[in-house]
Amino acid sequence: MKKHIPNLITLLNLLSGTIAVMLAVEGNLVLAGVFVLIGIFLDFFDGLVARILNVQSELGKQLDSLADMVTSGVAPGIIMYQLLKQSSVLWNEEGISTTSLFTEGIAYLPLLGLIITLASAYRLANFNIDERQSTSFIGLPTPAATLFVISLPFIMQYNSCDFAVELIQNKWFLIAVTLVLSYLMNANIPLFSLKFKDFSFKNNVIKYVFILLSIILLVLLQFVAIPIIIVLYVLFSVV
C-alpha cells in the first residue's frame, strides 16, 4: 500500500488546485492563493515521501505533472485574468464603477493572463522529457512563477504600501509580468535548485545566502517580498 501514499498526496494537490480554480473564477483571489499554496506544499511533500519510501514511479511522475498543471498552471492564469479584469474597470470619485475598458474595444485584454497557463503547460511537458533538469532547472519552475502571481492579491489585500498596490492595479504592469514570467518558464536559462546533496557551506554558499536573504525580506516586507525573492532567484542563478 505504501506505493500509493505519494500518489494520494499528489491527488490532494490536484484537489487543492481545483478548489483554487473555482475560487479564482468567483473572484476570491486571496483564498484561491491560499489553496494554491497548499497545493505547492503538497507538490513538494509528495516527492519527498516518494523518495523516503523509495516508491518513485512513472505513474507518479505523470500524475504529478497533471496536478501541477492545475495548481501551477490553470489557477495562476485565472488569477492573472481576474487581476487584469479588475485593472480594466474605471471608477468615479465616489468609488462607483462607471465604465469599463471592455466597452472601449479591448474586451479581450484580461485573456492575456491565460498566457501563463499555456506557458506552464509547455514548461511542464518539456520538463518531463528534459534529462538535464534532474539536479537543477532550465527555466523558471512553475511553482516559482505561481508564487509571484498569487502574491499580488495578497499584497493588495494586506500591505499598506500604496506604490505596490497602485502598481498591481496597472494593467500594463500585469501584462509585463505575464509575458516575462511566461518567457522565463521556457527560457534556456540554468537556475539552481534548493535541493541539498550535502549541507556544507562551501558547496551550498549561494543557496544559504539566498535562503537567509529571503527570510530577511519576508520579515521586513511580508508579501511584497515574494515577487522580489523570485526576481533575486533568477538574478542569483544568472550572475
Q: For the segment 135-170, what is each residue's pLDDT rounded down to a tens digit? A: 678 999 999 999 999 999 999 998 767 888 889 999
For 46, the 3-state DSSP assignment is helix
92 in any annotated domain: no
Q: Which amino acid is at 188?
A: N
96 in any annotated domain: no
Q: For the segment 51-91, what is each residue's pLDDT rounded down to a tens digit? A: 788 777 778 788 888 999 999 999 999 999 999 999 876 54
**Domain ranges, residue 61:** 2-87+108-238
100 in any annotated domain: no
Q: In the predicted model, what is the mean pLDDT of the chain?
A: 86
For 191, the 3-state DSSP assignment is strand
Note the pLDDT of residue 25: 96
219 in any annotated domain: yes
Element (H, E) at 28: none
- For residues 96-117, give the mean pLDDT: 69
In the chain, the number of structural domains is 1
d(CA 89, CA 84): 9
135 in any annotated domain: yes
d(CA 92, CA 66): 44
17 in any annotated domain: yes
CATH code for the domain of 174? 1.20.120.1760
Element (H, E) at 91: strand 89-91
173 in any annotated domain: yes
**pLDDT class of 3 with cuts at 50, 70, 90:** confident
d(CA 84, CA 208): 36
Question: What's the residue count for the chain?
Answer: 239
Q: Over the range 145-174, which residues count as b (16 or more CB within 10 Å of their CB) and which as e? A: bbbbbbbbbbbbeebeeeebeebbeebeeb
163 in any annotated domain: yes
The grid cell for 115 is 498566457
Confidence (pTM): 0.88
With CA atoms as reference, report the closest residue to 87 among 26, 172, 27, 152.
Answer: 172
Q: For the segment 175-229, what is each residue's pLDDT rounded down to a tens digit? A: 999 999 999 999 999 998 887 776 777 778 888 999 999 999 999 999 999 999 9
Q: For the segment 20-48, what is each residue's pLDDT rounded down to a tens digit? A: 999 999 999 999 999 999 999 998 887 77
Other beta carbons less than 10 A from residue 24's beta carbon: 27
